Structure 1
Amino acid sequence: MNKMFQNIQKNLKSNYEKLVIDLKSRSFPESALIIGTSLIVGIGAGLGAVVFKTLVDSAQKFTFEDVGSWLNMIAPWHLVIIPMIGGLITGPIIYRFAREAKGHGVPEVMEAVALRGGKIRPQVGLVKAVASAICIGTGGSVGSEGPIAQIGSALGSSIGQVFKLSEERTKTLVACGAAGGIAAIFNAPIAGAIFAMEVILNRINTVYFGAVVISAVAADAVAHMFIGNNRAFLIPQYKMESPWELLLYALLAIIAAFTSVGFSRILYWSEDLFEKINMSEWLKPALGGLLLGLLGLVSYKTTMGIPRVFGVGYETITPALFGEMAAHVTLLLFLLKLLATLFTLGSGNSGGIFAPSLFMGSMLGASFGKWTSAVFPNIAAGSGAYALVGMAAFFSGATHAPMTAILILFEMTNNYQLILPLMLTTVLSTFISRILSKDSIYTLKLTRRGIQLSDTVDIDVMQGVNVEEVMTRDFDFVTLDMSLKDLDDLFVKNHKHGYPVVSAEQNLVGVVTVTDLDQARQTGALKGKIVADIATTQGLMVTYPDEPMWKALYRMGAHNIGRLPVLEKEGSRKIIGVVRRHDIIKAYDHAITKKARMQHRVETLKLGKLDDAGFINLNIPANSRVIGKRVSEIKLPGHCVIVSLRRGRRLQVVDGYTILKKGDRLTIFAEEACVENVEKSLVEPSDLQQYTGQPNARHQIITIPAGAVSVGKMIKDLNFPYDSILVSIHRGNDIIIPHGDTILQTEDEVEIFGMEDDLITAEKIITG
């Protein structure tokens, strides 16, 4: 039986690999690929939202209706027990299977997009769905937007990874997943698309906008089929009573900005507070649940006896929007909801901050509205209008996402009467909150990790390099039983300042430095002593191969140490390498190289879309101003790429570090309109000539016939001559920029540049 299952698994894996290779070998039009993948992600995100909402509703019904009825005999203490049990369940799930599911989730998606090319572990979505559903269902004061954004993003990332799409396309699918999730869970497709652009990608770009809109619409349509077209809130049709009322809304914006920034700061302060508690990490959500339950005992209750600060709280927001709650009640609920959210998220439970932000914003706005109605009865609208505007103002102040705040309130309420005060208050709140704090509630979490995202997403290149990429794997170490005399000789011989102390099983047991040895020498003779007598074995600073390099550098700087042992994984003591200070230079060089490769790839993809483009061939004259300069220092026109450089009989590929010399012959691919600017940048007019064939080098287009041995093979598997370059592949109406993994097909027109003899050899390889 086991053998049969193994054969089935083997066949499935083989068929999957063939499918991936077949799909990669086909040249799909860019528009078809974008529409197809974004549609798949949108449908998946919509189904994910439906499943997630069902999980939340089922968990709430089971805990507060079914289990709650069993616990009636101990009421109201069941309100303490239920959230605590929820924490006992979610804690182990999060810390065992996916720690990225901890907290509100959106920063983790932003980090994946910015630093990991959109790669998110597939299990994150599943763990986030289960943990957040249990958390909300057992009373956790969190929302659905963070979980569903992370669930949808994980789906988009998984599809990108399964089909081995480029990083740029994978990041687009991550944004599509987030847009689809938000659109489906809140019935807000426009806001979902804007959220993905404004928050996840951190930029509004027409290249991505079409894809995220398709996903948002598809997800919302799927959700309509199962959930219906229900609005989150039903409210009266408020309107602005007087233009002077805008001044009151401006004052509300100021209050919302200060309170929302305070909420962001206090939230992470609560995380730090829980971090300091000396207990197992997986138990802390249960502690948070206990505190939440105790808070629920003294909180206002719904008609069903459930504390109003439990769960998402939409059933409490509605009466505030109708102006049915007293000012002191709304103000107290604001404070209670703040504490409830701190207990839930600060302790490490799972859920979003969207719903708590709307709740607190509505309570804040309702309290303010009651005051304005009493002081300015002739110009102020009802308190419900201020509650509605306060929701958007508080959310935008916390997230720095005014467009999302405005649109999602429109779509969730279907009320457009307060457009002017809503826009003014939201934008003003965002503006003031940015002055108070450059970080939103999302980016603050990343900043605390040392990750800085600018408005252009041009982040520090070091943040994209992991320890394993630059660590030293061949390292010296010592053992506990080594004599100090031998250790002294080792320091003198190798001129190093420290060594890891390793056991026979290659486990790290300590660190010993030359300072330790000097101190031992000052206290007495070294004779008869061993490394175990002076080595540091407690409180060791270590790092792990999958950690970003900036974390290792931070530890080295904070503790003023010159090296960090690299352990196999968290929880293991097996040492696999060392990071030293000189590795910093290697890390930076590696990061710059990665960034340059990405930029080169982007420019290459742009070239594939040019219509009026061709090759030009030019010589660098003796009086050229570019002689002695690196290619990276030369400002060439856009849509222009140096394909190759010939120096004597040597043909070489050009990179940014290539230094140009007199007599170099460059082959450039450029638009016709750029030729004159290329001439001005590099050579005199007399040296420029169209590339129509030269005595030694030329380009040739070779059509692959049916039955050729090259059909179905990757370019890297074909032994092309060293002095030849595959420039492009014409496949139907598409132009493909070739790389090592490109698979050749029948009727492909392969454009090759090289020497006469090499082109003959290349033609035999392609057509033979």
Structure 2
Amino acid sequence: MISQVKQNLRHFFLIPVLLGLLGGLSAFLFRALISLFNSLFNSSFGSPAYYPFVIPIIFSITFLISRKLLVSPENVTIDEIARKVALERGGFDPKKGLLILGFTSFNIGFGAPVGREGPIAKLGGVLAELVNKVLKVDGLHFPIYLTCGISSALSATFNAPVAAVLFGAEVVLGKINSYILIPLIVSSATATVVARYFLGDFRAFWVPHLSYDSSELPLFLVVSVLAAASVLLILNLLKFFTYLRSSLKDYWYFAVITCGLLVGFLLWMFPQTVGVGYEQVTLLFKGAYSPEKAGEIAFIKALAVCLTFGSGVFGGFMAPAIFIGAFGGFSVGSFISSTPGAFALAGAAAFLTGISGAPLRSSLIIVELTHSYQLIVPILFTSAFTNYFLGAFSQVRFFKRTLYHKGIDVEKLFPVKEVSIGKFVTFVEPVNESSPVSLLKERFLKEAERYIPVVNDDNRLVGIVSVRDLRLTLFFGEDLKVRDVMTSEPFFIYKDSSLSDLIKAISLLDRGKIPVVERDRSYVGMFSCDDFLKALTFRK
């Protein structure tokens, strides 16, 4: 009993509080570094006219040092963090984590149009992984505490503990139960208390009390469509930069200089797009910008961000996404509504959703950042539809993190264009729906199968049955037919289903085998998810 109390105390409080302290302090130190570099820029230069000179130097330094230290120039994304925890049980590179932290604070302080949230989340993962190793945490708890470290760092940075907890449960771990939620809550709350002690109970940017007319709710679809189209364009542009970086690797330094010059001139002409930009978002809500000017600034910020990340400069994408979405949403809302501020917040959530693929978490971040709880309906509405529209171009978007949580690296999976389902189908003898339940009991005792397909007299699939289904006999006796205990209308795939159909099935179902049928629903066999994934893992 005493041993169990000690284990619970360690799991629910001691380790989460430690990780929360580290997350809160790291967020404070990160902001202090940004302030230090910003003061250095202001004392040395102090004018936007120097950006065409300063920004190329920043880009060059990042390129040369990251190449010297053999650190990948790929930026920190939410997907990378989720993938690291789910597939690699951490594996965060401390060298890259600290390098990204230093460079991001340097870049933001000197004006680069990037955010701080992604890098601080990765630093939280690095610190949590070190704590795990020092405390010799077992494999079962390792990912939980990793997520505590990541969530606590985000909570302290955003001053949004609820969104940070949801981020950990929804995006990183993909599981929700009290054994996981309590450590996440404790670590995020601790980090928030620490950050508020040093930084105050701040809001990232000021927003007046806003309202909306419920009759205008369909108009928010306009923001969803435009946000989805903009995100799609940006993501494809960044992919193009990745291709160029690989193709022109011997000449990429010159491309970095060129990108730095372009970004420097953009920041000089539009100083509103400098750095994180939350102060400018506050001015937006105070009426400092016309709709035309807001749209122009959103476009310039998006262009500068693409050039910055495309050249390999470190930083986060969450703050730029909020900035672009807010300015773009305000501009659009001004032309279609009398309450453009509500459209600005919805746009911020929509763009953040488009970048991160997490509509609920993105919506909560915007609500917590601004205390605009009265706008939760249009914000959720806009975020959900943005994710829906983007999913039309890539259905794997809906299932990517679920696949990560099941140990499937979707980035390595989708170079495979076609797959022959027949290679992974084994014939499991079906049972007729009119057979007695006693036959099922004999089958389950003799065979290793966990699920048995159920067919009718025409060999058409009508159900599936598991050991769990047999528990109904405890309530209704054993004088039952298979049709009385089976799960009717089971999920199945066709013999000629596409790879996307398989991915959807694997991500939504917990079963290791899925029924396969012909187009007329004639039973064929059971598709083995394990064999399929094994073949993909070890393919040449």
Shared fold (TM-score, shorter chain, > 0.5): yes
Counting only pairs closer than 5 Å after superposition, residues 55-204 of structure 1 correspond to structure 2 as 55-63=33-41, 65-69=42-46, 76=49, 78-97=50-69, 99=71, 102-204=74-176
Separation (CA, whole Å) in 2 of partners of 1:352 and 1:35? 30
Report the counterpart of residue 13 of structure 1 in structure 2. none
Answer whether contact 1:43 1:218 (CA < 8 A) is retained: yes
Equivalent residue in structure 1 for 2:7, among 16, 29, 37? 29
Answer whether contact 1:320 1:387 (CA < 8 A) is retained: no
Spell out, residue by residue over 1:247-279, the C-alpha distance to the aligned partner (whole angstroms, 9 max, x if none). 222332222222223322222223323333343
Answer whether contact 1:41 1:176 (CA < 8 A) is retained: yes
SS where residue 29 of structure 1 aligns? helix
1:418 aligns with 2:418: no
Report the counterpart of residue 434 of structure 1 in structure 2. 391
Quick one: structure 1 residues 405 and 258, their matched pair in 2 at CA, closer, same or farther if it must change by over 3 Å?
A: same
Spell out, residue by residue over 1:193-241, the C-alpha distance to the aligned partner (whole angstroms, 9 max, x if none). 112222222444443222111111111111111111111111221112x
Counting only pairs closer than 5 Å after superposition, residues 235-274 of structure 1 correspond to structure 2 as 235-240=207-212, 242-274=213-245
Quick one: structure 1 residues 361 and 627, their matched pair in 2 at CA, closer, same or farther if it must change by over 3 Å?
A: closer
Report the CA distance between 1:626 and its aligned residue. 6.8
Report the counterpart of residue 353 of structure 1 in structure 2. 317
Answer whether contact 1:176 1:196 (CA < 8 A) is retained: yes
1:402 aligns with 2:374: no
Quick one: structure 1 residues 416 and 394, their matched pair in 2 at CA, closer, same or farther if it must change by over 3 Å?
A: same
Answer whether contact 1:120 1:158 (CA < 8 A) is retained: no
1:46 aligns with 2:24: yes
SS where residue 83 of structure 2 aligns? helix
Rg: which structure is higher? 1
Separation (CA, whole Å) in 2 of partners of 1:80 and 1:626? 73
Report the CA distance between 1:27 and its aligned residue. 9.5
Answer whether contact 1:323 1:384 (CA < 8 A) is retained: no
Equivalent residue in structure 1 for 2:346, among 389, 396, 419? 389
Quick one: structure 1 residues 344 and 168, their matched pair in 2 at CA, closer, same or farther if it must change by over 3 Å?
A: farther
Separation (CA, whole Å) in 2 of partners of 1:438 and 1:323? 39
Answer whether contact 2:16 2:183 (CA < 8 A) is retained: yes
Counting only pairs closer than 5 Å after superposition, residues 737-756 of structure 1 correspond to structure 2 as none
SS where residue 276 of structure 2 aligns? coil
Report the counterpart of residue 336 of structure 1 in structure 2. 300
SS where residue 105 of structure 2 aligns? helix
Spell out, residue by residue over 1:516-563, the C-alpha distance to the aligned partner (whole angstroms, 9 max, x if none). xxxxxxxxxxxxxxxxxxxxxxxxxxxxxxxx9x69x98xx99xxxxx
Quick one: structure 1 residues 267 and 278, their matched pair in 2 at CA, closer, same or farther if it must change by over 3 Å?
A: closer
Quick one: structure 1 residues 125 and 239, their matched pair in 2 at CA, closer, same or farther if it must change by over 3 Å?
A: same
Answer whether contact 1:321 1:388 (CA < 8 A) is retained: no
Quick one: structure 1 residues 62 and 153, their matched pair in 2 at CA, closer, same or farther if it must change by over 3 Å?
A: same
Residue identity matched to 2:155: A
Quick one: structure 1 residues 249 and 207, their matched pair in 2 at CA, closer, same or farther if it must change by over 3 Å?
A: same
Spell out, residue by residue over 1:482-536, the C-alpha distance to the aligned partner (whole angstroms, 9 max, x if none). xxxxxxxxxxxxxxxxxxxxxxxxxxxxxxxxxxxxxxxxxxxxxxxxxxxxxxx
Quick one: structure 1 residues 262 and 626, their matched pair in 2 at CA, closer, same or farther if it must change by over 3 Å?
A: same
Quick one: structure 1 residues 30 and 187, their matched pair in 2 at CA, closer, same or farther if it must change by over 3 Å?
A: same
Answer whether contact 2:87 2:405 (CA < 8 A) is retained: no
Separation (CA, whole Å) in 1 of partners of 2:404 and 2:103? 33
Report the CA distance between 1:287 and its aligned residue. 4.5
Counting only pairs closer than 5 Å after superposition, residues 198-217 of structure 1 correspond to structure 2 as 198-217=170-189
Query: Where is the helix percentage greater, Structure 1 or Structure 2?
Result: 2
Residue identity matched to 2:219: L
Report the counterpart of residue 457 of structure 1 in structure 2. 405
Quick one: structure 1 residues 284 and 96, their matched pair in 2 at CA, closer, same or farther if it must change by over 3 Å?
A: farther
Answer whether contact 1:402 1:430 (CA < 8 A) is retained: yes
Report the counterpart of residue 321 of structure 1 in structure 2. 285
Spell out, residue by residue over 1:660-693, the C-alpha distance to the aligned partner (whole angstroms, 9 max, x if none). xxxxxxxxxxxxx9xx99xx9xxxxxxxxxxxxx
Residue identity matched to 2:326: S
Separation (CA, whole Å) in 2 of partners of 1:259 and 1:250? 14
Separation (CA, whole Å) in 2 of partners of 1:456 and 1:126? 25
**Paired residue total:** 433
Answer whether contact 1:106 1:150 (CA < 8 A) is retained: no
1:232 aligns with 2:208: no
Quick one: structure 1 residues 276 and 135, their matched pair in 2 at CA, closer, same or farther if it must change by over 3 Å?
A: farther
Separation (CA, whole Å) in 2 of partners of 1:273 and 1:171? 35
Separation (CA, whole Å) in 1 of partners of 2:32 and 2:259? 25
Separation (CA, whole Å) in 2 of partners of 1:199 and 1:625? 40
Answer whether contact 2:78 2:356 (CA < 8 A) is retained: no
Residue identity matched to 1:68: F
Query: Where is the strand percentage greater, Structure 1 or Structure 2?
Result: 1
Residue identity matched to 1:40: L
Residue identity matched to 1:353: F
SS where residue 374 of structure 2 aligns? coil
Report the counterpart of residue 503 of structure 2 in structure 1. none
SS where residue 205 of structure 2 aligns? coil
Answer whether contact 2:234 2:306 (CA < 8 A) is retained: no
Higher relative contact order (CA 8 A, sep 6+): 2
Report the CA distance between 1:88 and its aligned residue. 2.6
TM-score, normalised on structure 1? 0.52
Quick one: structure 1 residues 165 and 281, their matched pair in 2 at CA, closer, same or farther if it must change by over 3 Å?
A: farther
Quick one: structure 1 residues 271 and 155, their matched pair in 2 at CA, closer, same or farther if it must change by over 3 Å?
A: same
Separation (CA, whole Å) in 2 of partners of 1:145 and 1:264? 19
Aligned CA-pair RMSD: 3.4
Report the counterpart of residue 722 of structure 1 in structure 2. none
Report the CA distance between 1:457 and its aligned residue. 2.3
* Structure 2 stretches lacking a partner, 5+ long: 418-440, 453-470, 479-540
Separation (CA, whole Å) in 1 of partners of 2:129 and 2:204? 29
Report the counterpart of residue 633 of structure 1 in structure 2. 449
Separation (CA, whole Å) in 1 of partners of 2:34 and 2:235? 26
Separation (CA, whole Å) in 2 of partners of 1:627 and 1:415? 58
1:295 aligns with 2:256: no
Residue identity matched to 2:299: L
1:276 aligns with 2:247: yes
SS where residue 273 of structure 2 aligns? coil
Separation (CA, whole Å) in 1 of partners of 2:209 and 2:70? 44
Answer whether contact 2:82 2:401 (CA < 8 A) is retained: no
Counting only pairs closer than 5 Å after superposition, residues 518-557 of structure 1 correspond to structure 2 as none
1:368 aligns with 2:336: no
Answer whether contact 1:321 1:385 (CA < 8 A) is retained: no
* Structure 1 stretches lacking a partner, 5+ long: 1-24, 301-306, 374-379, 444-451, 465-547, 559-622, 637-672, 681-768
Separation (CA, whole Å) in 2 of partners of 1:202 and 1:258? 28
Spell out, residue by residue over 1:389-442, the C-alpha distance to the aligned partner (whole angstroms, 9 max, x if none). 21112211332212222211122112223232222222222222222333559x
Separation (CA, whole Å) in 2 of partners of 1:168 and 1:196? 16
Answer whether contact 1:101 1:124 (CA < 8 A) is retained: no
Report the CA distance between 1:246 and its aligned residue. 1.0
Residue identity matched to 1:322: K
Separation (CA, whole Å) in 2 of partners of 1:278 and 1:155? 33
SS where residue 418 of structure 1 aligns? helix
Sequence identity percentage: 27
Residue identity matched to 1:165: V
Answer whether contact 1:118 1:167 (CA < 8 A) is retained: no
Report the CA distance between 1:296 and its aligned residue. 2.3
Separation (CA, whole Å) in 2 of partners of 1:425 and 1:455? 25
